[in-house]
Amino acid sequence: QKQGFDWYMRKEIFEQPKAVADTLLGRLNDKGELQLDELRMSPELLRRINKIVIVACGTAFYAGLVAKYAIEHWTRIPCEVELASEFRYRDPIVDPMTLVVTISQSGETADTLMAIRHAREQQAKVIAICNTNGATIPRESDAVIYTHAGPEIGVASTKGFTTQLVACYLLGLYLAQVRGMKYGDEIAALLTELERMPEAIQQMLDSQQVVLDLAKELVDATSVLFLGRHVGYPSALEGALKLKELAYIHAEGFAAGELKHGPIALISQDLPVFVVVPPKGRDQLRDKVISNIAEVKARGARTIVLAEGDDDEAAAVADTLIELPKISTLLQPMAAIIPLQLFACELATVKGHDVDQPRNLAKSVTVE
Ligand code: F6R
């Protein structure tokens, strides 16, 4: 059932426009309000919470890092993101006013499940973002937002990630609506932009050739760095994770602003460095990222720059340019991750690895 694709993973990468559209389906009512019927958590309760803690593992944790930027910006509720495996062992401050949000594709990840149990013992309310109907995590949570990615078979998460982002955006906007921070027209405008995402993702898929060629060219790389700022930072982390998992090479994601605080020492001749550039209009951030690219390029790095097509300054420091569509900064990870997923899939294919069953990995990690 790979439908002509060599790997389930590649098929699932290409399913993302539909998976994202399906996860958005039926969320706006005729009054232009966001509705999350399945949530079954009263607006009164959602108005009372004073802190959000997102807990997850791996790729889902990186989706949570993106969510923090969006949720805090839209709701002004302080939001922490924590690895599920760390959460319960550090005596976290959680009380009945805390909303714990877990993100899990499988709904069976042991660390995430243990985190939920711990949070509920402290009387916190728990919302699960999950792709698997009736899995243990949603069953043990107070409420669920299902992603509608369909079954994810490739061990490396792809459509799981982008649909988790959608669910996080929906939750953030819903909280903003319930708490009176955003009104019908603003929500509708943001949802319209979200509804254009399947098209933006398709555009990234249609222009995959540059990434496929790059994978062939970089097949002997032993180390690859990924840099980004703001939501580009978790995108960089996720790009690096995909490469570790599938190509078995050293890959690291950094916040671009940290470069001078250490990682720049790693830059050597021809080291491939992927950089996610914020959209034009976010010029304070964008200028800094572009000067980071110039810094690594001056030290001999091979720069692969993800930037808007008309960003001439970014193009000027790019050895390879991967064009991103025009979208708001907060939504950019949904487009930026596509070429990074494709790159990891292709590099592993060229190296002759089993992309769907990477060594040492299991699809769902049911032991702590
Ligand atoms: C990475 C990957 C893992 C999972 C992590 C959490 O490609 O698949 O990092 O994201 O094990 O799994 P879930 O989302 O099922 O809780």
The pLDDT of residue 30 is 81
Confidence of residue 157 (pLDDT cuts 50, 70, 90): very high
Confidence of residue 10 (pLDDT cuts 50, 70, 90): very high
- 363 has catalytic annotation: yes
With a 6 A CB cut-off, is 136 part of the ligand 1 pocket? Answer: no
Reported as a single tens digit per residue, the pLDDT across 50-77 is 999 999 999 999 999 999 999 999 999 9
Helix (H/G/I), strand (E/B), else coil: 48: helix
The pLDDT of residue 364 is 83
Q: Which atom of ligand 1 is nearest to the CA of 109?
A: 16
Reported as a single tens digit per residue, the pLDDT across 110-136 is 999 999 999 999 999 999 999 999 999
Going by alpha carbons, the residue nearest to atom 10 of ligand 1 is 59
Averaged pLDDT for residues 343-347:
98
Q: What is the model's pTM?
A: 0.97
With a 6 A CB cut-off, is 109 part of the ligand 1 pocket? Answer: yes
- Rounded CA separation 136/104 (Å): 11
Averaged pLDDT for residues 205-228:
97
Confidence of residue 28 (pLDDT cuts 50, 70, 90): confident
Confidence of residue 29 (pLDDT cuts 50, 70, 90): confident
Q: Which atom of ligand 1 is nearest to the CA of 242?
A: 7
Q: How many whole angstroms from 158 Cα to the centroid of ligand 1? A: 10
Structure token digits, residue 308: 């808007």
Residue 181 has pLDDT above 90, yes or no: no
Q: In this structure, are residues 102 and 126 in contact, taking their beta carbons and an 8 Å threshold?
A: yes
Q: In this structure, are residues 53 and 100 in contact, taking their beta carbons and an 8 Å threshold?
A: yes
Structure token digits, residue 149: 């990615």
With a 6 A CB cut-off, is 58 part of the ligand 1 pocket? Answer: yes
The pLDDT of residue 332 is 97
With a 6 A CB cut-off, is 128 part of the ligand 1 pocket? Answer: no
Q: pLDDT > 70: what percent of the chain?
A: 100
Q: In this structure, are residues 225 and 251 in contact, taking their beta carbons and an 8 Å threshold?
A: yes
Backbone angles phi, psi at 258, to 5 degrees: -85, -10
Going by alpha carbons, the residue nearest to atom 13 of ligand 1 is 104
Structure token digits, residue 37: 């019927």
Contacts by residues 350-354 (CB-CB < 8 Å, ≥ 24 positions apart) = 350/215, 350/216, 350/219, 351/219, 351/247, 351/248, 353/246, 353/247, 353/248
With a 6 A CB cut-off, is 112 part of the ligand 1 pocket? Answer: yes
ipTM over 0.90: yes
Average pLDDT, the chain: 95
Q: pLDDT > 90: what percent of the chain?
A: 85
With a 6 A CB cut-off, is 102 part of the ligand 1 pocket? Answer: no
Residue 325 has pLDDT above 80, yes or no: yes
Backbone angles phi, psi at 80, to 5 degrees: -110, 155
Confidence of residue 32 (pLDDT cuts 50, 70, 90): confident
Planar angle of CA 255, 256, 261, nearest 5 degrees: 85
Averaged pLDDT for residues 294-317:
97
Reported as a single tens digit per residue, the pLDDT across 261-280 is 999 999 999 999 999 999 99
The pLDDT of residue 213 is 98
| N-to-C CA span, the chain | 32
DSSP structure class, residue 171: H
Going by alpha carbons, the residue nearest to atom 7 of ligand 1 is 156
Q: Which of 18, 51, 244, 363 is catalytic?
A: 363
Residue 164 or residue 355, greater confidence: 164
With a 6 A CB cut-off, is 156 part of the ligand 1 pocket? Answer: yes
- Rounded CA separation 183/187 (Å): 6
Residue 36 has pLDDT above 80, yes or no: yes
Q: In this structure, are residues 241 and 58 in contact, taking their beta carbons and an 8 Å threshold?
A: yes
Going by alpha carbons, the residue nearest to atom 9 of ligand 1 is 58
The pLDDT of residue 283 is 84
